Amino acid sequence: MWWLVGLIVVLVIVAGYFVGIYNGLIRKRNETDNAWSQIDVQLKRRHDLIPNLVETVQGYAKHEKETFDAVIQARNRAVSAEGPAAAGQAEGILGAALGKLFALAEAYPDLKANQNFLALQEELSSTENRIGFARQAYNDAATRYNNAREVFPANLISGGFDRAELFEIEVDAEREVPKVQFG
């Protein structure tokens, strides 16, 4: 009789332990998914800022039509890009085009002093940072999740949990965030 009670207690404890591990895996997987969607949110933020930026710069540098067109085109392509690979490439081209746009300001002192432009500059560099931090947070979350699902005894029950792939930057232009030095 007593051994039966003991067996049931042990079974309940073991089951509870695995339920805990399972819930932990679910939580970590959700965190990973959340982090991934943050990247999209921040990329969209960048797209939304660009028309405003181009409009401000246009007021001061009317002759640089080529640069504006390149930025607008890169933006539109990035907005409509399908799939991670295409999106990554489009964002990379957009980053490079933005770098050129900011380099323009060098030749227009009035633009450099413009409050609106300075504010946009802060917004855009914050957006670049956010994209970087969102990626970084995703990779951190994915690493935590992957570690959690591979260690013993979690690996006994983590068959249904797919490994999260890390975000790798493949396009050279994308790796280089537009860096602009102002005199």
Binding residue for other proteins (CB under 8 A) from 141, 145, 149, 158?
141
Interaction of residue 126 with other proteins, rule CB under 8 A: yes
Interaction of residue 23 with other proteins, rule CB under 8 A: no
Considering only residues 64 to 123 of the shown chain, the ones binding other proteins according to CB under 8 A are 102, 112, 118-119, 121-123
Q: Which residue lies nearer to other proteins by CB, 2 or 182?
A: 182
Give the DSSP letter string of the chain. Answer: -HHHHHHHHHHHHHHHHHHHHHHHHHHHHHHHHHHHHHHHHHHHHHHHHHHHHHHHHHHH-TT-HHHHHHHHHHHHHHHH--SHHHHHHHHHHHHHHHHHHHHHGGG-HHHHH-HHHHHHHHHHHHHHHHHHHHHHHHHHHHHHHHHHHHSTTGGGTGGGSPPPPPP----HHHHS-------
Q: How many Cβ atoms from other residues are within 10 Å of residue 16's Cβ?
A: 10
Stretch that binds other proteins, among 10-18, 35-43, 60-68, 154-162 (CB under 8 A): 35-43
Q: Which residue lies nearer to other proteins by CB, 47 or 144?
A: 144
Interaction of residue 31 with other proteins, rule CB under 8 A: yes
Q: Which residue lies nearer to other proteins by CB, 3 or 152?
A: 152
45 close to 130: Cβ distance less than 8 angstroms? yes
Binding residue for other proteins (CB under 8 A) from 38, 56, 89, 114?
38
Interaction of residue 171 with other proteins, rule CB under 8 A: no
Kindly list the residues in this chain that would bind other proteins in the complex (CB under 8 A). Answer: 31, 34-35, 38, 42, 102, 112, 118-119, 121-126, 128-130, 132-134, 136-137, 140-141, 143-144, 147, 177-182
